[in-house]
Amino acid sequence: MEINPLKPSKYRVPALEKGLDILEKLAQSSRPVSLTQLSQQLGRTNNEIYRMLTCLEQRGYILRDDVSGNYALSLRLYELALTHSPLDKLLSSAQPLMEGLATSLNESCHLSVMDGFELLVICQALTPGKVRISVQVGGRFSPVNTVSGRILLANMPPDRCLACLNTAPEFQRMTDDEKQALKTQLENIRNEGVSYAESETIFGVNDYAVLVGNPQVGMAAALAISSLTSLKSTKAKKELFSSLQVCAATITQNAGIALNYA
């Protein structure tokens, strides 16, 4: 029997409806939302909303920023969607292509997404070589200090990007000139379509990242390589980026992520 979700039902579940209203409202927002804003938008009292928000946060469905107190969705709903999840489809499409990339370039690569205000590594493929760099799957990093995080920030809607920056302690510790320099860097990354830097954590490592997916349809990831500096051979930056972009485009296509969004 097919149930129309828009059809009024004689069986009311107020608590469940309240929780779903909150999740749907947060999903519609491009930036974290405050308790007061949610209360006003849903036509409910702060007490009603706060109790439900506390429950949803404890269950991992939403994230609360310690500084602003605002709320945003986590990736918990993606996890529950199982095989129908865009993230799951992205992973199944990415893994074999990333393994091929790691073998052809003799460089390990990894795939990351934004989870709330943090960069989350969701997949990696290791080079078959004897010397390799491994990035822990499940590891969380500041988007400000990584090439993967910066390419995702650069391709976010401006208000979402600003919310992420204002939440990052690394950004808050910057001087005004440093903040402006980072914003200029993000603009350049958006225009160039690639992100590069000498590693901010390991000496002798160069990091390269490109965008996978389409931020406009809510599914974006960063495909990155961390390349060791070698005395015997040095891969050209252009070669690495070209290979990364071909792989990223194929992952996007195989995952069925639309590139055009009306």
Residue 183 resides in a domain: yes
Based on the fold, state whether residues 108 and 161 are members of the same structural domain: yes
* pLDDT-above-70 percentage for the chain: 86
Q: H or E segment at 244?
A: helix 237-254
pLDDT number for residue 178: 95
Q: What is the CATH number of the domain that holds 25?
A: 1.10.10.10
pLDDT band at 175 (very low <50, low <70, confident <90, very high): very high
pLDDT number for residue 89: 83
**Residue 158 and residue 136 in contact, taking contact as beta carbons nearer than 8 Å:** no
Residue 6 resides in a domain: no
Residue 112 resides in a domain: yes
Of the three residues 72, 90, 105, the one that is the final residue of a domain is 72
Mean pLDDT of the chain: 86
* pLDDT of residue 226 exceeding 50: yes
* pLDDT of residue 234 exceeding 70: no
In angstroms, the CA 168 to CA 118 distance is 9
Segment 72-114, tens digit of pLDDT: 999 887 666 554 567 778 898 999 999 999 999 989 999 999 9
Residue 109 resides in a domain: yes
pTM, 2 dp? 0.65
Q: What is the CATH number of the domain that holds 168?
A: 3.30.450.40
Segment 58-75, tens digit of pLDDT: 999 999 998 999 999 998
What are the beta bridge partners of residue 119?
Answer: 114, 141
pLDDT number for residue 3: 34
Segment 106-140, tens digit of pLDDT: 899 999 999 888 999 999 999 887 777 888 898 99
pLDDT number for residue 190: 95
Based on the fold, state whether residues 122 and 46 are members of the same structural domain: no
Tokens of 149: 């995080």
pLDDT number for residue 232: 46
* pLDDT-above-90 percentage for the chain: 59
> Domain total for the chain?
2
Backbone angles phi, psi at 168, to 5 degrees: -80, 120
Based on the fold, state whether residues 200 and 86 are members of the same structural domain: yes
Segment 10-46, tens digit of pLDDT: 667 888 888 999 999 998 888 899 999 999 999 999 9
What are the beta bridge partners of residue 123?
Answer: 111
Mean pLDDT of 184-200: 90
pLDDT band at 211 (very low <50, low <70, confident <90, very high): very high
pLDDT number for residue 65: 92
Residue 4 resides in a domain: no
**Residue 257 and residue 86 in contact, taking contact as beta carbons nearer than 8 Å:** yes
Closest CA to 71 of 44, 49, 42: 49
Helix (H, G, I), strand (E, B) or coil at 163: helix
Domain limits at 114?
A: 81-254
In angstroms, the CA 120 to CA 198 distance is 20
Based on the fold, state whether residues 122 and 246 are members of the same structural domain: yes
In angstroms, the CA 36 to CA 46 distance is 6
